[in-house]
Structure 1
Amino acid sequence: MRSLRSGLSPASLLTGAATLVTLGALLVAAPAAQAADTPLRDLAAAKGKAIGTAVTGSKLTGTYGDIAGAQFNWLTPGNAMKWETVEPSRGTYNWAEADQIVAFAQAHNQQVRGHTLVWHSQNPGWLANGTWTPAELSTLLQDHISTEVTRYKGRLAAWDVVNEPFNEDGTYRSTLWYNGLGADYIAQALTWARAADPSAKLYINDYNVEGVNAKSTALYNLVKSLKERGVPIDGVGLQAHLILGQVPATFQQNIQRFADLGVDVAITELDIRMQLPSTEAKLTQQAADYKAVLDACVAVARCTGVTVWGFTDSDSWIPDVFTGYGAATPYDENYVPKPAYYAIATALGGTTTPPTGACSATYSVASQWNTGFTGQVRIACSGAALSAWRVSWSFGAGQQITQAWNATCAQTGAAVSCVNASYNGTVPNGGSVTFGFNAAWSGSNPVPVVTVG
Structure 2
Amino acid sequence: MLRRLIAAAALLAAALTTTPATAAAAADAPLRDLAAARGVYLGTAVTGGKLTGGYADTAATQFDSITPGNEMKWDAVESVRGQFDWAGADRVVAFAEAHAQKVRGHTLVWHSQLPSWVNNGTWTADTLRTVMTDHVTTEVSRYKGRVDHWDVVNEPLNEDGTLRRSVFGATLGESYIADAFRAARAADPAAKLYVNDYSTDAIGAKSDGMYDLVKRLLAQGVPIDGVGFQAHLILGQVPASMEANLRRFADLGVDVAVTELDIRMTLPATAEKLDRQKSDYAAVMRACLAVTRCAGVTVWGFTDSDSWIPDFFPGEGAATLYDEGLNPKPAYAGVAGTLAPTTPPPAGVCSVTYTVTSQWAGGFTAQVTVRNTGTTALNGWTVRWAQPAGQRVAQAWNAAVTQTGEEVTATHLSYNATVPPGGSTAFGFNGTWTGSNPPPTAFTCA
* TM-score (norm: length of structure 2): 0.70
Residues in 1 aligned to 2:270 and 2:292: alpha-carbon distance in whole angstroms: 35
Q: How do 1:207-226 and structure 2 match up within 5 A?
A: 207-226=198-217
Residue 39 of structure 2 is matched in structure 1 by 48
Residue of structure 2 aligned with 1:82, choices 55, 59, 73: 73
Residue 140 of structure 2 is matched in structure 1 by 149
How far did residue 229 of structure 1 move?
A: 1.5
SS at match of 1:218: helix
Residue 58 of structure 2 is matched in structure 1 by 67
1:298 pairs with 2:315: no
How far did residue 36 of structure 1 move?
A: 3.8
SS at match of 2:67: strand
How far did residue 130 of structure 1 move?
A: 1.4
Residue 449 of structure 1 is matched in structure 2 by none
Residues in 2 aligned to 1:46 and 1:291: alpha-carbon distance in whole angstroms: 17
Q: How do 1:251-266 and structure 2 match up within 5 A?
A: 251-266=242-257
1:387-437, Cα deviation, whole Å (9 max, x unpaired): xxxxxxxxxxxxxxxxxxxxxxxxxxxxxxxxxxxxxxxxxxxxxxxxxxx
SS at match of 1:81: coil
Residues in 1 aligned to 2:220 and 2:114: alpha-carbon distance in whole angstroms: 29
1:100 pairs with 2:88: no
1:65-115, Cα deviation, whole Å (9 max, x unpaired): 000000000000000000000011122211001001100100100000000
Query: Conserved in 2, the CA contact under 8 Å of 1:38 and 1:350?
Result: no
Q: How do 1:402-417 and structure 2 match up within 5 A?
A: none
What letter corresponds to residue 154 of structure 1 in structure 2? Answer: G
Residues in 2 aligned to 1:65 and 1:323: alpha-carbon distance in whole angstroms: 27
How far did residue 310 of structure 1 move?
A: 0.2
What letter corresponds to residue 65 of structure 1 in structure 2? Answer: A
Residue 417 of structure 2 is matched in structure 1 by none
How far did residue 350 of structure 1 move?
A: 5.8
1:346 pairs with 2:329: no
Larger relative helix fraction:
2
Query: Conserved in 2, the CA contact under 8 Å of 1:80 and 1:98?
Result: yes
Residue 273 of structure 2 is matched in structure 1 by 282
Structure 1 unaligned blocks of 5 or more: 1-34, 352-453
How far did residue 243 of structure 1 move?
A: 0.3
Residue 300 of structure 2 is matched in structure 1 by 309
SS at match of 1:314: helix
Tell me how large the CA RMSD over aligned residues is.
1.2
Residue 38 of structure 1 is matched in structure 2 by 29
1:115 pairs with 2:112: no
What letter corresponds to residue 238 of structure 1 in structure 2? Answer: F
Structure 2 unaligned blocks of 5 or more: 1-25, 343-446
Q: How do 1:107-256 and structure 2 match up within 5 A?
A: 107-256=98-247
| Poorly superposed stretches of 4+, deviation over 6 Å | none
Count of residues paired in the alignment: 318
Identity of aligned residues (%): 65
What letter corresponds to residue 312 of structure 2 in structure 1? Answer: V
Residues in 2 aligned to 1:36 and 1:206: alpha-carbon distance in whole angstroms: 33
What letter corresponds to residue 73 of structure 2 in structure 1? Answer: K
Residues in 2 aligned to 1:170 and 1:59: alpha-carbon distance in whole angstroms: 36
What letter corresponds to residue 307 of structure 2 in structure 1? Answer: S
How far did residue 189 of structure 1 move?
A: 0.6
1:175-217, Cα deviation, whole Å (9 max, x unpaired): 0000011111111110110000000000000000001001001
Q: How do 1:2-13 and structure 2 match up within 5 A?
A: none
